[in-house]
């Protein structure tokens, strides 16, 4: 997987195995996101573009990865408190998020 940050957009690219057993294949995917808002330890993104196809039925199936990531109507929510090491830290919420060229600046505080 590759991550690129340009013009305030987070671009994720990689491949995902689709299908069943012997009939599976790797499909190259590219996802373009823009941060929308922050709620506690959740970051909400607007989905700008999905490749190879940008259809809601496809997006709903392949972008939902409960409990970490939920997708609904062009909105993707990343729940940081569901990620392993962060589950153990009970204090602190996201105060701010900024996408700068080549890096993500995340400020967490009590």
Residue 23 has pLDDT above 80, yes or no: yes
Phi/psi for 63 (5° steps) reads -105, -5
Query: pTM of the entire structure?
Result: 0.81
What is the Cα–Cα distance from 24 to 17, expressed in whole angstroms?
Answer: 6
Residue 108 has pLDDT above 80, yes or no: no
With the C-alpha atoms ordered 15, 78, 46, 107, is the resulting torsion angle positive or negative? negative
Residue 105 has pLDDT above 70, yes or no: yes
Name the average pLDDT for the chain. Answer: 86
Residue 86 pLDDT: 67
Q: How confident is the model at residue 45 (pLDDT cuts 50, 70, 90)?
A: very high
The region of weakest confidence among 8-12, 70-74, 78-82 is 78-82
What is the Cα–Cα distance from 91 to 110, expressed in whole angstroms?
Answer: 6
Residue 33 pLDDT: 95
Residue 110 pLDDT: 65
Return the beta strands (E) in 1-110 as ranges.
2-6, 9-18, 25-39, 42-51, 69-72, 75-79, 93-100, 103-109
Q: How confident is the model at residue 69 (pLDDT cuts 50, 70, 90)?
A: very high
């Amino acid at each position: 997987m590759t991550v690129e940050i340009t013009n305030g957009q987070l671009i994720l690219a990689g491949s995902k195995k689709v299908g069943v057993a012997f009939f599976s294949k790797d499909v190259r995917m590219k996802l373009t996101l823009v941060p929308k808002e922050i709620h506690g330890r959740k970051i909400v993104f607007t989905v700008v573009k999905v490749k190879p196809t940008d259809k809601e039925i496809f997006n709903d199936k392949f972008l939902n990865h409960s409990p970490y990531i939920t997708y609904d109507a062009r909105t993707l929510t990343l729940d940081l408190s569901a990620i392993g090491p962060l589950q153990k830290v009970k204090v602190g919420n996201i105060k701010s998020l900024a996408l700068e060229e080549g890096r993500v600046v995340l400020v967490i505080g009590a």
